Structures are given as C-alpha cells and as structure tokens.
Amino acid sequence: MKRRERLKQEKEARILDAAAAVFSGKGYHGATIRDIAARADVADGTIYNYFDNKFDLLVAILTRVSQSEQLGAELTQALDQDARDFFVAAFRDRLARIEAGEEMLKAVLPQVFVNEELRRQFYQQYVRRIAGLLEPYVQAQVDRGRIAPVNVPLVTRLVQSAFVGLLVMRILGDEALRAGWDDVPELMATMVFDGLAAAAGAPGAQEAAPARATVEG
C-alpha cells in the first residue's frame, strides 16, 4: 500500500520532469503529450491518470518548484548581518537556484504572458510572496538607518525586476552576461548600495544622492 503510494508519486514526478524538459525545449505548444509520455516512458493515456490536462502539467511544474523555497527564515536571521554582505550572498544563492530552475522558467514563463490564471499564480508565488518577505526586511534596514529612506515597495520591485531581467537576458543568451555571471551579485550590490558615481571628491555623489533619494513620493 505504502509502496503503491510511493510508486505513484515517483511516476508523477517522472511525468512532471518529462513535461518540464519537453516544454522547456519546444515550448508549451510545441510539446505534445506524446513527446512527454515518451520521455516519461509511459503511455499517452497514463498521463491523464495523474493530471487533468496539458495545462495542468504547467501549473504543477510551477507549483512544485516554488515549494522548496525558504527565504523567510534566512531573512529574519539576517537582520543583524551586514546588509551588503547578505545581499550578495542571497542574490548569489537565488541566481544559482534559478539557474537550476532555468528549465522550469523556460517552460512556464512564455505561457505566463499568455494565460491569465498562470500569470496570477506565477505572480503570486514568485513576485508577491518574495516581495512580502523582502519588504519587511528592507523596511527594517531603513528603520535602523542602514538604508536611505526610500520608497520601500518600489525599491523591492526594482531589485526583483533586475533579478527577473537577468534571467530573461540569460535565456536570451547574452554573452557578456554569461561571461560575467559570477560577478553579477557583487556588481549588483555595488550599484544598489554604493552607486556607481565616482565618489572621489565628487560632491554630487555625497550631497545630491540622499537629497534625491527622498523623491520617492
């Protein structure tokens, strides 16, 4: 009985793996149930014993990935670390993680733009949820005076956007990005925390910056 149960889960996983691989390679519409069945080494019909329909596979893929995340704990523990160091570490971690999930992303993302339901779900699980974790952290840093008093939600979105953009650019196959991939977290941190303005003796960077940062409205 238990074994029965486990076998079932294994097969479900195998199907999902196959689906992710095939979707990622040929796109959602380019992939056929037969492709997936063949890759999962089951019959076409078998898939329908585990999932309602093709679209369901997509949703399942999306959901499965977002479960292994536990950013929350990290963040609360990180409140007292150096913000910049933590940013670098966390950003690097996320990038590595998503690198592994790049297949999923290539499978799901295109349909995210197309399908309302999927979009909501993706947004909820990948943007909203993360934002809900990040914002309090950023706010706390602001409160502690470590970060300038910015528009916290917007800043969070900007960082998230940059993150998403990086993945998109990576999928697009940009060479410069791929070459400098390992330096991205550091450089990102430099930009976010310190800015690129040549500070040395440049009054602009030291005076104007804070003044402007209040713009947030």
Partner DNA sequence: TATGAATGAGGGTTCATTCAT
Partner DNA sequence: TATGAATGAACCCTCATTCAT
Q: Binding of a copy of itself at residue 110 (CB under 8 A)?
A: yes
Q: At what angle do helices 102-114 and 2-30 cross, to 10 degrees?
A: 60
- The entry of DNA, a copy of itself, none near residue 34 (CB within 5 to 8 angstroms by kind) is DNA
Spell out a b/e string for 18-28, using b for 16 or more CB atoms within 10 Å of the CB, else e. Answer: bbbbbbbeeeb
- The entry of DNA, a copy of itself, none near residue 91 (CB within 5 to 8 angstroms by kind) is none
Cβ closest to DNA, residue 55 vs residue 181:
55
Tokens of 101: 């999930």
- The entry of a copy of itself, DNA, none near residue 197 (CB within 5 to 8 angstroms by kind) is a copy of itself
Residues 6+ apart with CB under 8 A from 183: none
C-alpha 41/C-alpha 11 separation (Å) is 10
Q: How far is the CB of 22 from a copy of itself (least distance, A)?
A: 12
Tokens of 73: 């704990």
Q: Which stretch in 14-22, 49-57, 93-101, 186-194 sits in contact with a copy of itself by CB under 8 A?
A: 186-194
Which residues bind to DNA, rule: CB under 7 A?
Answer: 4, 7-8, 11, 29, 31-34, 42-46, 48-50, 53-55
Q: Binding of a copy of itself at residue 89 (CB under 8 A)?
A: no
Residue recorded with tokens 């995210």? 112
The neighbour count for residue 189, using CB atoms within 10 Å, is: 19
Q: Binding of a copy of itself at residue 183 (CB under 8 A)?
A: yes
